Structure 1
């Protein structure tokens, strides 16, 4: 199921956030930029995708576009799973809500963790840590969700506060919430982000697969 996580999410627990056509689906644009096909080797699925969008970011093991689409960007990454890890709740982590979205977007702009839009928070539970003045300086939360699995995502720390272990604390706290529901956490990281990959390994995540994050445009 986590071989095609976006499809599993959009046709499962997060179908309410989907626009779908046949064997293709995408998140609503204000939620996330990701789309998915039931089978990326199926030309009809690419034709279905063309009926709902002219630009899509797909996540998978290996993705080759079919007629009518061209690849415009690709980034190598890894998928890691927390099958035998333990989460740890953090007493300083607060649940973030819709009213916190402007601050979250500001933090994302500074820390660059990856896609996070004005309604991404609707996908799951997000936690944050604030400094003594109340400023949001670190956050992390849940993105793709499918039966038995939830992705840890958007873990980021203000550059001025890095090196203090905030990202690790939030990753464990988000994972704790996932595990408490009887699900397993997983995550994605860009392949060349070696520091993050090492950190996730120390926290108990193990390598599951090499993946690509690929952007495609309809031609």
Structure 2
């Protein structure tokens, strides 16, 4: 008579993953930890390094592609590590519940360089519930004619929502583009306007 092993349940697999992730974290084996959070603008992948949040991605960007890019550009030691991102998840929940108007998370700008990085570091200076234009942001960055480059910096912002590129509009007041799609940009602006 053959004995069959019992297959682990989903709960057992989840518990095992959590134990392995904690052990890897304690031993310093995770360079990029990530988790997926639900939000009113869809599921968001949130990833961090030891320096801070390095990437926030909308599901439409393709989480597998985003994780591969992190492995290629930051480190191949990428692991789902939800506990590492508890604070980020809590702050995002507070933001979407209109209980937070700014983020107090450490940020890792490892994925940006040059003028794009300068622009992305300026984005948090745009007050909650306010907007600015690409041209005004170019002026604030000291390069008044670089409004197209500002648009590119916003389009390549690796930290949307937390680094609020959604607050930048075209000069005529229209939305422009957004990595999460125009519905997500509109939803974020409406959320902030209603607060």
Look at both structures and tell me which one has the larger radius of gyration over its CA atoms. 2
- Does the alignment reach a TM-score above 0.5? no
Instruction: Determine which structure has the larger helix proportion and give its number.
Output: 2
Task: Looking at secondary structure, tell me which structure has more strand per residue.
Answer: 1
